[in-house]
Structure 1
C-alpha cells in the first residue's frame, strides 16, 4: 500500500536541533490545525487547548526512550553503529537490530553469523534476517543475540546513546528525547522501552496540560514501545508492544458516548487504540503485540483527531494519517506546511489533523465545527 500524499521535502526544512537549543520552549514549535471543513490555521503548540473543546479526550504514550544506539566494531575493524529496535516477538533473548555506518548510512553487507564487538568487552551476533529469518545476507534488519554479561538496559545507559539521523547537527543527550509523559513501565513484561522517541508528545509542557484541564479536555494514557522508524518506502510498520489499560478504555468509551472526540498524540497512540477498537466503535482494554496497519482497507474507528509531527515522503506513517483524516486533508496540510516552511522530524513542528465527523454521534456533529 502507498499513501496518496505526495511531496518533496527540501533538506533545509529538517529541524537540526531541539527548540531549546535556540532559546525557545518545547511548546513554542508551530502547530498546523487542519479540519475537513474550514481553512487551515497556523498556531503555536501552546495554543493546542483552544483547538479542542470541553469533553474531548487527549490520549498520550508513556513509553520512555532507550539509549538504543551503540558504536561498535565489525570483525574487519570497520566501525558500525548498532540500532536496537526491541525484542523479537516471542523470542525474549533475541533483539531486532539495524546496522548503520558511522556516517549514518545503512549497512547492506551484513551476514548471518557475523559477530560485532561492543563496548565493555561485549558482543552481538547476527542470527538471521528480520522479519524473514531465512535471509542470511544483506538484510536491513537482523535478529541478534547480545553477550554483554550485564542487564541490557543498565549496559545501554553506560554505553549507548539515543538513535539519531544525519539531519541532526550533533548528538543530543537522552533527556532531549524524553517526553514529559515518559516513565518506566512495560507493555509485555519486557524491560526494553521505545527505540525512538514517541515524538508527537515532545512539545507538551506542564502549562499546556494545565490549560487542557482548565478547558475541560481530559488526558488518558497508553503504552506502545516503538521500534526503529527508518522503514523503507515499501515496508509496513513492524509489530510493536502495546498496552491499553482499563481506565483508558473506559475514558475513551465514555468520551465517545458523550459526543466528545478522541485525539491521539502520535501514530503510536493511534495504532494502540485502533488495535483494541471493535467494529461497533467501542474499545476494550488489551495488551500484547500489534501488527495492525491502518490504511484504505482499515480506516480509523475511534481516533477522531491526531497530533503528529511531519513525516518523510513515502513514509508508511502517511497511510495512518490518511486513515484518520482522509487523503485530501492530509495532502492539503502537507502542502500548507511546505509553503509555510514548517520544520520536519522529531525536533520540528507539529500538526493537528481532525477526522471526519462520521466518528462522532450524529446528534453532536453540528456542534463540532469550530
Structure 2
C-alpha cells in the first residue's frame, strides 16, 4: 500500500527554508507569469463528477496506476487545457489589512453586516509577527491616526469581533499595509498582492492562485477557446501557526458564472477552479447535489474527501504546508496517493511554496 497524505505530509514532510518564496518573482528578475507549474493528472476513468464519500478523488475506482505528474512553465497553461474548458477565478481584491502598532499588529479579516470586523491580534517580532493571546472583551486599542478599536468578544481562539470608530476600508487604505508572515523578509507594495482579476476589494490576504496570470496569458487562453468566469470570495486571515480549519467567509457566485459552469459541463468541458477559495464557493453553490446555482452570503463549507467535490474537475493552487486544512480539499480532488506523490515530486524538484511561489494544476 502506498504512502498517504498523512504519511508524507504530516510525518515525513519538512519544508526547507530555501523552498519558501521570500519575494515576488519580479524581485528575482522574472515576469509575473514565469513561475513553475506542477501538473497532476488522475487515472483515466477516475475523474467522476459525483460527490459524497469517496466520490471526489482520483483514488477511486481504477486507482492511480495511470496517473501522471509532469513539470511545466505556468505559461504552458493554455496548451495544457482544452477548448471548452472553463477557468473560474476569484475577483476579490486584497486589502492592506495589517495595522502596525509599536508592539502589536492588528490584522483585519472579515466584515460583518453590522459594521463589526473579525480581527486578529499579533505580537510584532524582528522578522514579522506571531500570535498574541492577550486582549479582553471591552478593551480599547488606540490605533494610528487617532482611531480606536474596541474588542467586543473572542469568536475563535485567535479572532476577535471588534469595532473601529470609523469606516474600515478607508482607514486601511491610508494606514494599512499588506499582511506579511515571517517567510517574506520585507514589505512589498500592495500591487504585488493583487491579481489581474481582482476588482472587488475585501480579501485580507491575496487569493494567490490567480497571481501568476497576466492580461496576455488570459488573452491567449480565451483565444484558444478556454473560458474565464468570475466569482467573489473574500478571504480571511490565515492561521499559519496552527492550521485551523477555515471559518465562514463571504462569497457570491453570479448567475452568469453559474450558467457558464453548467454550459461547460453540458458540452463536455472541464471546470477548473483557480484557487481553493473558488472551490469552496462553487461547492457551496452546488450543495444539495444539484447543478451550480447563483448564490451569495456566507459559506462554512469545508471540502473533505468525505464530502467529495461536485462542481469542479480540476484546481490551480499553490503548495500548502503540512497539516493545512487545504490538503483535505486537494485530496478530495486527487485522492491521497496522487497528492502524496505530487508533493514528494515538488520537494524533490525544488518547487517554491507560499503566495509568491510556484503553482500546482490538478486534473481529475
TM-score range, shorter chain: 0.7 to 0.9
- Shift in Å at residue 233 of structure 1? 4.3
| Structure 1 residue ranges without an equivalent (≥5) | 74-78, 132-138, 185-191, 356-370
Q: Among residues 157, 161, 168, which one is paired with 1:152 in the alignment?
A: 168
Q: Among residues 69, 76, 80, which one is paired with 1:51 in the alignment?
A: 80
- Shift in Å at residue 340 of structure 1? 0.5
| Mapped partners of 2:331, 2:213: distance in 1 | 24
Contact 2:271/2:312 (8 A) holds in 1: yes
233 and 119 in structure 1: CA distance in 2 versus 1, 3 angstrom threshold: closer
Secondary structure class of the residue paired with 1:40: strand
Aligned to 2:296: 287
| Mapped partners of 1:243, 1:159: distance in 2 | 28
Secondary structure class of the residue paired with 1:319: helix
Q: How does 1:315-354 map to 2 (within 5 A)?
A: 315-354=324-363
Secondary structure class of the residue paired with 2:114: strand
| Structure 2 residue ranges without an equivalent (≥5) | 44-66
- Shift in Å at residue 111 of structure 1? 2.1
- Shift in Å at residue 296 of structure 1? 2.1
CA RMSD of aligned residues (A): 1.6
Contact 1:3/1:314 (8 A) holds in 2: no
Secondary structure class of the residue paired with 1:260: coil
TM-score using structure 2 length: 0.87
Larger relative contact order, structure 1 or 2 (CA cutoff 8 Å, min sep 6): 2
Aligned to 2:93: 64
Q: How does 1:97-246 map to 2 (within 5 A)?
A: 97-103=119-125, 104-131=129-156, 139-147=157-165, 150-184=166-200, 193-230=202-239, 233=242, 235-246=244-255
233 and 327 in structure 1: CA distance in 2 versus 1, 3 angstrom threshold: farther
- Shift in Å at residue 94 of structure 1? 1.4
- Shift in Å at residue 93 of structure 1? 2.2
How many pairs align? 331
Contact 2:35/2:359 (8 A) holds in 1: yes
- Shift in Å at residue 40 of structure 1? 1.0
Contact 2:41/2:362 (8 A) holds in 1: yes
- Shift in Å at residue 239 of structure 1? 0.4
- Shift in Å at residue 262 of structure 1? 0.2
- Shift in Å at residue 214 of structure 1? 2.2
| Mapped partners of 1:292, 1:195: distance in 2 | 19
Between 59-68 and 271-280, the greater mean CA deviation after superposition: 271-280
- Shift in Å at residue 3 of structure 1? 6.1
| Mapped partners of 1:223, 1:290: distance in 2 | 12
Deviations 1:325-355 (A, max 9, x none): 2212211111110011111000000010112
Deviations 1:137-182 (A, max 9, x none): xx311111112xx422111111000011011110111000000001
| Mapped partners of 2:239, 2:134: distance in 1 | 18
Q: Does 1:25 align with 2:31?
A: yes
Aligned to 2:104: 80
Deviations 1:194-252 (A, max 9, x none): 00000000000112112211221111110000000126646221100110011110010
Contact 1:16/1:347 (8 A) holds in 2: yes
Deviations 1:91-131 (A, max 9, x none): 52211111111111110122222221100111112111114
- Shift in Å at residue 61 of structure 1? 0.4
Secondary structure class of the residue paired with 2:263: helix
| Mapped partners of 2:327, 2:68: distance in 1 | 21
TM-score using structure 1 length: 0.86
